[in-house]
Chain A
Amino acid sequence: MAKKLMLGNEAIARGAYEAGVKVVSSYPGTPSTEISEIIAKYPEVYAEWAPNEKVATEVAVGASFAGVRSMACMKHVGVNVAADPLFTAAYTGVNGGMVMVAADDPGMHSSQNEQDSRFYARAAHVPMLEPSDSQEAKEFTKLAFELSEKYDTPVFVRTTTRLAHSQSFVEEEDRVEVPNKPYVKDITKYTMMPSSAIGRHLKVEARENQLKEDLNNGVWFNREEIRDTKLGVVCSGIVYQYVREALPDASIFKLGMVYPVAIEQIKAFASKVKRVIVIEELEPFFENQLKANGIKCDGKNLFTLQGEYSVSLIKERILGISQDVEKIDLPVRPPVMCAGCPHRGVFYILSKLKLTVSADIGCYTLGAVAPLSAVDSVVCMGASVGIAHGFEKALGRDQSKHTVAVIGDSTFIHSGITGLVNAVYNGSNMTLIILDNSTTGMTGHQQHPATGLTLKNTPAPILPLDDLVKTIGVKSLDIVDSYDLAEVERAVKEALNTDGVSVVIAKHPCALLKTYKAKPALSIENCKKCGMCLKIGCPAIYKQKDGSALINTSQCVGCGVCKQLCKFDAIKGGDAQ
């Protein structure tokens, strides 16, 4: 068998492939994106980007009803969007096995919150598995499909950023083709209205009770490791690796199935050790269940609800060994918009006009950081539109003349469209700027319905955002080049002063796209040290010790935004604007 280094995400894709999955639908989101990108490379698997996680989950539910194995992958906050079909798919159960991957992000490497997806498993009564390395990621994904069919339920595979984006060895096996199960019409199972859902709710309880019983009677995904019995640790996922390294002598109860929790097994484990400590990132999910079942343990009294855990943290909290850390005062290096980013100029104008800006989820969230500092709020995918409308309804036209919503093309399609429909329907006077960079940028250039290509890189119809906006009923629509500052400013001012809902589409492809046409780097001659070009926060321009600005030619892509700001014509090269 071939042994390969794989990302956790690649291993999940491999597991689903080997399990004979036929349909995968997802929306990109760090740290889950690579699963779908990798599985799309297998010709035996149909894989697609859906416009959002709700649709992706519904597609997976449909494929499951139809009788094939299916999967939907998303980041933790994507599960919020998918929650509606999820909770009722838990009632209908499956025909072909169905797996949902929920990728949590403790430490918020690339997210707006650090919610704990395990509660979704509990709330929806859906079993959840959590692997601790890439090999388990593959195995658990395969087992998840089997469980799904055995217990007639969707099954979650939960990962965290460190699991998803760490590579470790995986043994590949062959794909096993699973014959399609016949689809048989059965409204008591697939049509959830009160009369049938009442019956299904009973089945949900029955199958969960059966699963708990089977779990307590067998080892399955869980593993008891008895070493020194002075200390027993209950843990799961990547934390298991930290515990093994920090406390090599400790006994461990490793949960592979994180919901339902095998309480009877843990009771037996607790009876073999003197002290039980639950070590889990984020919420006290296991700890509370242990305590509710009378198992004495420590947990969050020693640890934190926030951020990622580590070997160092566990050594510090359990063994009292702390590391001396020398504090060095250094300039921070936060993420920034790339050189040539088409969003930069738009945010410069919004900042210059001192507008209240409700922004959204994507690279352009970085419009919030200095020196642009243009953003007032960011909540969730699509929220910018509703928030700007809410401002207008709360404070009226005086406010909306100074307020804009900004949203990217992919995020607009994900869940901004309904916000715009609402604003038009309810007579809003609001302005929306769609930052159209022709891709899903932050997650690394995924296709979407307006790019003209699918996840499998086949041609697709292009959703025309301008026509869509007009069809929704927007009377005032302007389309400008994001690099043209004067045009952006004109369009934004006009939109703000137009009653009703107005939309500006600021369009220019992402500078990191392979199709992007970079121009020769610009240069500065006879700099007058006014500092104007530094106000846009371009990583290719910096201030030298004498106060003059210098363009780093290895980073500059010649977008020309800085050139438009220089009052002294000191920036040379590129096209005349």
Chain B
Amino acid sequence: MRTNILIVGVGGQGTLLASRILGTLAVNKNLDCKLSEVHGMSQRGGSVVTNVKIADKVLSPIIGLGDADIILAFEQLEAIRYTNYLKKGGTIVVNTQQIMPMPVITGAREYPSNILEELDKRCGKLIAVDALEIAKEIGSVKSVNVVMIGALAKQLGISFDEIDNALKQTIKPALYELNKAALEKGYNI
């Protein structure tokens, strides 16, 4: 699982926790890993990017244009925004949830209607997940990020036990059982 994963979404969707679970996974697999996060102003409902690089030796913590093996997108519009970072033939795992950005809220712009088709044209493999619906089913809308990590783990060819261990080591114990359910649902899509 030597790989570059770009996690994109909207501030507040939990991209940081997602990257930390992957970091724990890299530790468990005894691989080098760097994570790069966004804190501060950009977190306030803005477009956020988290870089996860796992390899025998990682230098820059940032994934360059055309250098991501996988884009894990928590929101459709953010998925298409960062497709330039995907390697030719790379994989996009996208949450089909739509979160309206301010220009759409005010009516200045329309939310693009055909994002999934456009994404499909730009990648080797597209996995679309209705993670919000799944998270609602298990009674925890905040677990969208863990559903997505489950879906990603499957694509990475990681066993459920491995990703579940990483989740357990990363998350607060009180939240584990609920999120394990989210992880399982995401993994078994």
**Do A and B make up one complex?**
yes
Distance in angstroms from A43 CB to nearest chain B CB is: 21
Interface pair B105/A542, CB less than 8 Å apart: yes
CB contact under 8 A between A326 and B84, given known A166-B35, A335-B46, A336-B45: yes
| 1-45 of chain B: CB within 8 A of chain A | 10-12, 20, 23-24, 26-27, 32-45
Residues of B within 8 A of A363 (CB): 44
Tell me if A166 and B46 are in contact (CB < 8 A).
no
Known: A168-B61, A336-B44, A337-B44. A330 touches B37 (CB 8 A): no
A109, CB-defined interface residue at 8 Å: yes
CB distance from B6 to the nearest CB of A (A): 14
Cβ of A366: which chain B residues have Cβ within 8 Å of it?
A: 41, 44
- B84 to chain A: which residues have CB within 8 Å? 323, 325-326
Across the interface, B41 reaches (CB within 8 A) one of A110, A238, A539, namely: A110
Task: Known A167-B35, A311-B60; judge A336-B46 contact (CB<8 A).
Answer: yes
Chain A 365-397 near chain B by CB (<8 Å), digits 1 or 0: 110011100000000000000000000000000
Q: Does B149 contact A (CB under 8 A)?
A: no
Structural contact, A333 and B105, CB atoms closer than 8 A: no
- Which B residue's beta carbon lies closest to that of A29? B40
Q: Interface 1/0s, chain A 536-577, versus B by CB < 8 A?
A: 011101110100000010100000000000000000000000
Verify if B62 is at the interface (C-beta below 8 Å from A).
yes
Q: Are B64 and A311 in contact (CB under 8 A)?
A: yes
Residues of A within 8 A of B36 (CB): 162, 165-167
Chain B minimum-CB-distance residue to A33: B39
Binds A, one of B106-114, B153-161, B178-186: B106-114
Inter-chain CA distance A310–B80, complex, in Å, is 21
Task: List, in ascending order, chain B residues with CB within 8 A of A369's CB.
Answer: 102
B 87-114 binary contact with A (CB < 8 Å = 1; else 0): 0000000000001111111111111100
Per-position 1/0 for B51-83, Cβ under 8 A of A: 000000011111011110000000001101101
Q: Chain A nearest CB: distance from B28 CB in Å?
A: 11
Q: A109 contacts B42, CB within 8 Å? A: yes
CB-CB nearest in chain A for B65: A323
Interface size of B by CB at 8 A reads: 55
| Min CB–CB distance A355 → chain B (angstroms) | 21
Using Cβ atoms and an 8 Å threshold, which residues of chain B touch A244? 59-60
A166 to chain B, nearest CB (A): 4
CB proximity of B23 to chain A, nearest CB, Å: 5
Counting CB contacts under 8 A, is A332 at the interface? Answer: yes
A368 to B160 alpha-carbon distance, docked (Å)? 47
Across the interface, do B102 and A162 meet the contact criterion of CB distance under 8 Å? no
A443 contacts across to B, CB distance below 8 A: 40
| Residues of the A chain whose Cβ atoms lie less than 8 Å from the Cβ of B103 | 331-332
With A241-B60, A325-B65, A338-B12 in contact, do A331 and B42 touch (Cβ < 8 Å)?
A: no
Q: Which residues of A contact B34 (CB under 8 A)?
A: 133, 166-168
Pairwise interchain contact B81-A328, C-beta atoms closer than 8 A? yes
Give Cα A326 to B132, complex, Å. 30
Chain A residue at smallest Cβ distance from B144: A554
Residue from A5, A245, A330, A554 within 8 A of B80 (CB atoms)? A330
- Residues A531 and B102 in contact, CB atoms below 8 Å apart: no
In the bound complex, how far is the Cα of B43 from the Cα of A381, in angstroms? 20
Q: In the complex, what distance in Å separates the CA atom of A73 from the CA atom of B61?
A: 23
Chain B min CB distance to A257 (Å): 21
CA distance A297 to B91 in the complex (A): 42
Residues of B within 8 A of A26 (CB): none
Q: Which of A315-365 contact B (CB under 8 A)?
A: 323, 325-326, 328, 330-338, 363, 365
* A543→B44 contact, CB < 8 A: no
Known A-B contacts A5-B35, A162-B62; A333 and B102 likewise in contact (beta carbons under 8 Å): yes
Q: How far does the alpha carbon of A162 sit from the alpha carbon of B49 in the complex, in Å?
A: 12
The 8 Å CB contact of A5, one of B27, B44, B105, B108, is B27
CB of B47 to closest CB in A, whole Å: 4
B126 interface residue per 8 A CB criterion: no
List chain B residues, Cβ under 8 A from A307.
none
Q: With A and B bound together, what is the CA distance between A7 and B20 in angstroms?
A: 11
Q: Cβ of A167 and Cβ of B23 under 8 Å apart? A: yes
Cβ of B116 under 8 Å from chain A: no
The residues of A with any CB-CB pair to B shorter than 8 Å are: 3-5, 7, 30-31, 33-34, 109-110, 133, 162, 165-169, 238, 241-242, 244-245, 310-312, 323, 325-326, 328, 330-338, 363, 365-366, 369-371, 442-444, 531, 534, 537-539, 541-543, 545, 552, 554
In the complex, besides A31-B39, A331-B111, A333-B45, 11 extra interface pairs with C-beta distance below 8 angstroms are: A5-B33, A110-B40, A165-B39, A323-B84, A333-B47, A335-B43, A337-B44, A363-B44, A370-B102, A442-B40, A541-B105
Across the A-B interface, give the 3 residue pairs with the lowest CB-CB distance, nearest first: A110-B40, A30-B40, A335-B46
A-B contact pairs, 30 of them (CB 8 A): A3-B27, A5-B24, A34-B39, A109-B38, A110-B40, A133-B34, A166-B37, A167-B36, A168-B34, A169-B33, A238-B60, A241-B61, A310-B62, A328-B80, A330-B77, A330-B81, A331-B101, A333-B10, A333-B77, A333-B101, A336-B46, A366-B41, A366-B44, A371-B102, A442-B41, A444-B39, A534-B107, A543-B105, A543-B106, A552-B100
